[in-house]
Structure 1
Amino acid sequence: MTEQAVDEGGVRLSAKAPADGVFLGRTRELKELRADIERAGLDTLSGKKAPRARVLLIAGRPGSGRTALAEELVRQVAHRYEHGVLRVRLSETDGTPVPVGRAARELLNALERTVPPGAGDDDLTEALRDALADRRTLLLLDDAAGAEQVDALLPDNPGCLVVAVSAGPLTGIADVRPCTLGGLDTKSAVELLSGRIDPVRVTVDPRAAEGLVEECQAHPAALTLAAGWLTVRPKAAVADLAKQLRAEGDETAPLARVFKLLYTALPAPAARILRLLALAPAGPVDPHTASALAGCSVSGARTTLDDFVRFGLLRPVPSPVPEYEIPGFLHPLLRALTETLDRPAELQLARARMLERTVRLLQSCRAITETDSPQAREKLLGMPRALRFPSPRAAEEWLRVRRPALLGAARLAVADGELDTLARRLLSQLVRAMVAHFGTRAAAPDLYGVHRLVLDVAERRDLPREQAAALLNLADLDAQTGRTNEALLRYRAALDAGRRANDPYATGRAMESVGGAHLELGDYERAADWFGRALGQRLARAEHADAARLYGRIATAHTYAGRYGEALRNWRAAAAGHRRCGDLAAHARALSELARVQEYAGRPVESLRTCKEAVEWARRAEDVRLQAALHLRIADTFDRLGDPVTAGVHRGTAERMLAEEGEEGPPGLDQGKHAGNACEIRSASAED
């Protein structure tokens, strides 16, 4: 594989980051774009202050070199923007527009701004504008599908600059400075050609090279593919290709004519792999994807992908794992080939192989984290070597790098509609792998989208149990980010689905969560009622530990409502239940909450006695932090009873315990409104 690859149509010659490549031509366009940055805008000319960032538009068809020109402009002016450069692509490889909310979230992630999972597009774009309000930043919005996308992401800060790349005008955005691209100048076009093949082949016949440039209309992508054809045919002369292009006629665009010649020059297996890449999910492709689509070995697929880079058909992506990008101009050509040459059943089988491979890679990615599980180790060793990761760190890196493609595969599987069994397995394994490596909190924004996909499949296939699981997971994420009303609606829907599925766990979990939502909203009577319904189910199923916990949640609701008699009765029931279950620490905590309510009810002596009993149970449970918290509460009670000496003794005991444990600060005892709501139902299938 050579070090040369073409960025968006053939102007930049580098397999590395765009800034490391050699840029050819476009001198006039660059000069005009830089002048547009300096030129006063319409608002300035009219005496007004510019309300938003200036927008420079680089317009051209895919393959015209528009992204390369944008990157070169960014490289030349980036030093003027002290807060750096942000990049985001606004269309998928197949041309599908990226939702504005997803693009805004990617930009916010780059700014290290935390955004709640499930936030709407308007909230995300507003958060982005707030984040950029006091920053001098350059935004590169690549492959914009329309003005609406750019307008939604435009900062309300004239100190920022937006460089937008699009196929057409951005109608509706004021004061846009457009730069429309045509072909390269002849000198740069010949340099592009000679940079990708043996330059001697150009030197010996410069007129033929200029003739080839003319046949390609100096189109960067067409010239790149022309160089690919000459690479496949090392004994052919440049004039031979120009002659064949002339023989093809002028009915089609030069890009399509050159691609047709290059495609027919490929060996049949390579040609099949190439056209099947059109089925790959959004984002870069890797050898595993190509291998699964074509049904060949991973090593063979990688060799073929590297050859495609040499031929200008793919671009390598700088990445810790092998990745390749399909140029935007190539995707519609590949899709047309698959529709013509492959039967629908063959394409469906290729998609199924790809999704199955993705599922197995995710299984391997998760299994390597389960170092204490003999079953996981045995399953991992039973996988082919090509699917195994050398270490948990390598698996995490793979998951992080491949995240966009994995999420794209999930969306593709759900959208297909005929591969729902595979889609459910893929979604389940994706959730488990992300939680195992990143944790639930860090992965929450992605998990929110995955749970929505689970819900789509469950509703389409009428799977009420999985529907309940997805609704519960979505509602939990809503509740954690303060969208309590939305969470309440989803918990109620999950309850209905759980009842339809006759799933007692989902039903009980939903009832308890409905109660928790009412508690958060301050409706304590309804909260206690729903906790009571959940308690009745737990008692009927003899689930004593959960019943004891629910007694505590009912008591908490009554405490907030000021009904101390009911709260005391339920805390006593909770303490007795935990004691019967042998959970000494939970028993001690229930007694501590009982003491708190006794104090609220104006019974300090009873509270003191209960606290001392709780200290003894906490000592038996070896919960030093709880003991310290109880001693502090006892100290406060003695202070209110007018005995500061005894209060000082208990406070000193608490401080000594914390010091021995290496703790700092006073320990807390309050269970809070959300106590006991930490259960989780895994979305989709439990199959490994």
Structure 2
Amino acid sequence: MTDQAVATAGSRRFFGRQRELKALRADIERTGLDTLTGRKAPRARVLLVAGRPGSGRTALAEELAAGVADRYPDGIVRARLTEPGGAPVPVARAAQELLAALGVPEPPGAAEDELTELVRGAFAGRRAVLILDDAVDAEQADPLIPDEPGTLVIGVSGGPLTGIPDVRPCTLGGLDPKSAIELLSAFTGSVRITVDPQAAETLVEECGGLPAAVVLAGGWLSTHPKTSVADLAKRLRASSGDPLVRAFRLAHEALPPTAARILRFLALAPLGRADAHTASALAGCSVSAAATTLADFAALGLVSAGEDGQYEVRAHLVPLLRARLEECDRPSEVQLARARMLERTVRLLQSCRAVTEPEGSPARRKLAGLPRALRFPTAAAGAAWLETRRPVLLASARLAVADGELDTLARRLIASLVKALAAHRGAEAAAPELYGLHRLVLDVAERRGLHRERAAALLNLADLDARTGRTKDALLRYRLALEAGRAANDPYATGRAMESVGGSYQELGDWQRAGDWYGRALAQRLARDERADQARLYARLGAVQTYAGRYGEALRNWRAAAAGYRRLSDLPGYARALSEAARVQEYAGRPEESLRTCEEAVEWARRAQDVRLQAALRLRLADTLDRLGDPAAARLHRAGAERLLETAPPAYEIRSGLIED
């Protein structure tokens, strides 16, 4: 909870804590231990706001950051280190959140150490404020603290972060009576407080000065205009337990049964965030009714209203809501609510992807049949929704997999999310998120013994490993995918895995093993008469044999690849294969044959009307003519290549490793 309240006009205000703010501002200027010993400060200045949940610790951190923002022109960056239910956020995930906020790309599948190093590097030279909200301990927060003296770190925690040097906590208790009454009057109005100021003092005393409890009390009074402040104070005094628990109990019991049920089910919302669709699916009510109820909850201080129609359940209320959920609702109802929420998310993701398809496509026709509330009017609207909901959607996938009882829905959700991210952001930009999603698919597949899905997830993960230079990791995963593909009797997965194992060995420079695995993959393609794959594998075999210096074998395979491409009427592929055969002939000391083969390749590139390829081949032909002692002919071909390039994009580069899937 925060020291903030939603006033009748909808504005947000900060109440009290002036002494704490003054102390924290002074602490920014305090001489550190490093300075006292004559050394330059090696890290950012770290301030700590400590207090129990609901004490207003996050609001104080935000108020402090806003007050000093003019001294830190690079802005305020935030990361929450605890899930709404109390589970610690993994350091790697917090680092990913910070990198996204800083606009720094992350390598897919990067380890925790690499991600935290990227975070610290991203703050180098910046004057910014970093808020680490709800840190569990020093081990969680310390890796995220930048090595940049110009950055200010404001930690928020339940207690001291022992282990982080030179940090003095600012420990929060209750609000002073005057500030607590001001917070209360933001909900009740000043008249009810003025007519009985002593009752107001008694009420905030019963709330322990805890801002979260005061807000709930104020919200309760706002819905009971005929009840006096003194009556509410008596009710709280008659109840037992912690002030926050007592205030929450009254607020929950005051709600109509339907609204109370919606509130309890919000404890299931990923990251504690819900929009009208999420609340509607959880409670099984209409979207409009859910939207109205969420707005009412915001006015009562039960949730905070965010941008784009999203609401966030107060973090300190989530454990209380979950406890009430267990008391009031059957497990079958809770599981059904989860299933409805996931199914609604799947439909929204499918709609989000479909809006990127061309008009008249099957996906767009299917989209037109959906209810209006589930449709996006434009691709831009779908992209905006996906971007603002991305953290929640990723959390939904994690929660669905962790549930363990909704694996079919979890797989559908992940598949829909992968497609939507790829459609709107592109596979390259979305690679970090896709890596995490493929890991989740792998978890489900291994738990359920789904060999085909396990093979697919391993192949996808290995591809991302290979793209980021983790070739040995990719090799291990490709081998595991091969085992899974064989267990599933999936020829596509086994063939793809064998070829990828060969590609990994080729990347590692082990030509012998690369050729062996390409040969195994080729044997399978030959047995299944998959001609396009055969041609590609002949080419890959030719490439590794060229690297290994086995020119006779390389030439045979390049010729086989050329023949395969010609049978497929793939003229550019045929021309490239001929060009590589010419290269091998030149390496083997047969320049005249190389010249004839290269001329043939140029002719086929011309027939294919591939201008870039034709220009590149003519340049290669010019190099060959130079080596054969015919500079005049070489100049003619270079001039022809230049003319081609004047009307074409940059020339096509021909390399031995060119032909890959």
Q: Taking structure 2 as the reference length, what is the TM-score of the superposition?
A: 0.97
The amino acid that maps onto 1:380 is: L
| SS of equivalent to 2:261 | helix
Residue 157 of structure 1 is aligned with which of 142, 145, 148? 148
- Report the alpha carbon displacement of residue 199 of structure 1 after superposing the two structures with TM: 2.6
Counterparts of 2:35 and 2:274, CA distance in 1: 46
| SS of equivalent to 1:560 | helix
1:634 matched to 2:618? The reply is: no
| SS of equivalent to 1:330 | helix
Counterparts of 1:639 and 1:84, CA distance in 2: 60
Counterparts of 1:324 and 1:158, CA distance in 2: 36
Contact 1:281 1:408 in 2 (8 A): yes
Counterparts of 1:92 and 1:636, CA distance in 2: 63
Identify which range, 471-480 or 386-395, moves more after superposition: 386-395
The amino acid that maps onto 2:208 is: Q
- 1:582-661 matches, within 5 Å, as 582-661=569-648
Quote the residue 1:463 is aligned against.
450
Quote the residue 2:36 is aligned against.
45
- Report the alpha carbon displacement of residue 198 of structure 1 after superposing the two structures with TM: 2.8
Contact 1:548 1:575 in 2 (8 A): yes
| SS of equivalent to 1:337 | helix
Contact 2:445 2:453 in 1 (8 A): yes
| SS of equivalent to 1:441 | coil
Moved over 6 A (4+): 14-17
| SS of equivalent to 1:632 | helix
Contact 2:356 2:379 in 1 (8 A): yes
- 1:93-132 matches, within 5 Å, as 93-132=84-123
Identify which range, 124-133 or 415-424, moves more after superposition: 124-133
Identify which range, 446-455 or 239-248, moves more after superposition: 239-248
Identify which range, 468-477 or 558-567, moves more after superposition: 558-567
Counterparts of 1:346 and 1:506, CA distance in 2: 40
Contact 2:5 2:12 in 1 (8 A): yes
Quote the residue 1:181 is aligned against.
172
Quote the residue 2:191 is aligned against.
200
1:69 matched to 2:69? The reply is: no
Give the number of aligned pairs.
661
Contact 2:3 2:60 in 1 (8 A): no
Contact 2:612 2:651 in 1 (8 A): no
| SS of equivalent to 1:325 | strand
Contact 1:16 1:317 in 2 (8 A): no
1:56 matched to 2:47? The reply is: yes
| SS of equivalent to 1:22 | strand
- 1:376-525 matches, within 5 Å, as 376-525=363-512
The amino acid that maps onto 1:498 is: G
The percentage of aligned residue pairs carrying the same residue is 67
Contact 1:43 1:49 in 2 (8 A): yes
Contact 1:54 1:161 in 2 (8 A): yes
Residue 277 of structure 1 is aligned with which of 251, 258, 266? 266
Contact 2:563 2:574 in 1 (8 A): yes
Identify which range, 62-71 or 200-209, moves more after superposition: 200-209
Counterparts of 1:45 and 1:573, CA distance in 2: 76
Higher relative contact order (CA 8 A, sep 6+): 1
- Note closer, same or farther for the CA distance 1:11–1:372 as it changes in structure 2 (3 Å cut): closer
- Report the alpha carbon displacement of residue 283 of structure 1 after superposing the two structures with TM: 4.8
Residue 670 of structure 1 is aligned with which of 632, 640, 655? 655
Q: Taking structure 1 as the reference length, what is the TM-score of the superposition?
A: 0.93
Identify which range, 535-544 or 203-212, moves more after superposition: 203-212
The amino acid that maps onto 1:101 is: A
Counterparts of 1:63 and 1:192, CA distance in 2: 14
> Over residues 10-39 of structure 1, what are the superposed CA-to-partner deviations in whole Å (9 max), with x where a residue is unaligned?
33557999xx84322111001110111111
CA RMSD in angstroms, aligned pairs only: 1.7
Identify which range, 449-458 or 380-389, moves more after superposition: 380-389
- Note closer, same or farther for the CA distance 1:325–1:606 as it changes in structure 2 (3 Å cut): same
Contact 1:9 1:224 in 2 (8 A): no
1:305 matched to 2:291? The reply is: no
- Report the alpha carbon displacement of residue 373 of structure 1 after superposing the two structures with TM: 5.5
- Report the alpha carbon displacement of residue 643 of structure 1 after superposing the two structures with TM: 2.4
| SS of equivalent to 1:442 | coil
> Over residues 172-208 of structure 1, what are the superposed CA-to-partner deviations in whole Å (9 max), with x where a residue is unaligned?
1111121001111222111111122333222333222
Q: Which runs of 5+ in 2 are unaligned?
A: none
Contact 1:15 1:316 in 2 (8 A): no
Counterparts of 1:373 and 1:497, CA distance in 2: 39
Quote the residue 2:316 is aligned against.
329
Identify which range, 266-275 or 88-97, moves more after superposition: 88-97
- Note closer, same or farther for the CA distance 1:373–1:670 as it changes in structure 2 (3 Å cut): farther
Q: Which runs of 5+ in 1 are unaligned?
A: 1-7, 678-688
Contact 1:284 1:324 in 2 (8 A): yes
Contact 1:232 1:266 in 2 (8 A): no
Quote the residue 1:256 is aligned against.
245
- Note closer, same or farther for the CA distance 1:13–1:43 as it changes in structure 2 (3 Å cut): farther
1:90 matched to 2:81? The reply is: yes
Quote the residue 2:325 is aligned against.
338
- Report the alpha carbon displacement of residue 671 of structure 1 after superposing the two structures with TM: 5.6
| SS of equivalent to 2:48 | strand
1:214 matched to 2:198? The reply is: no
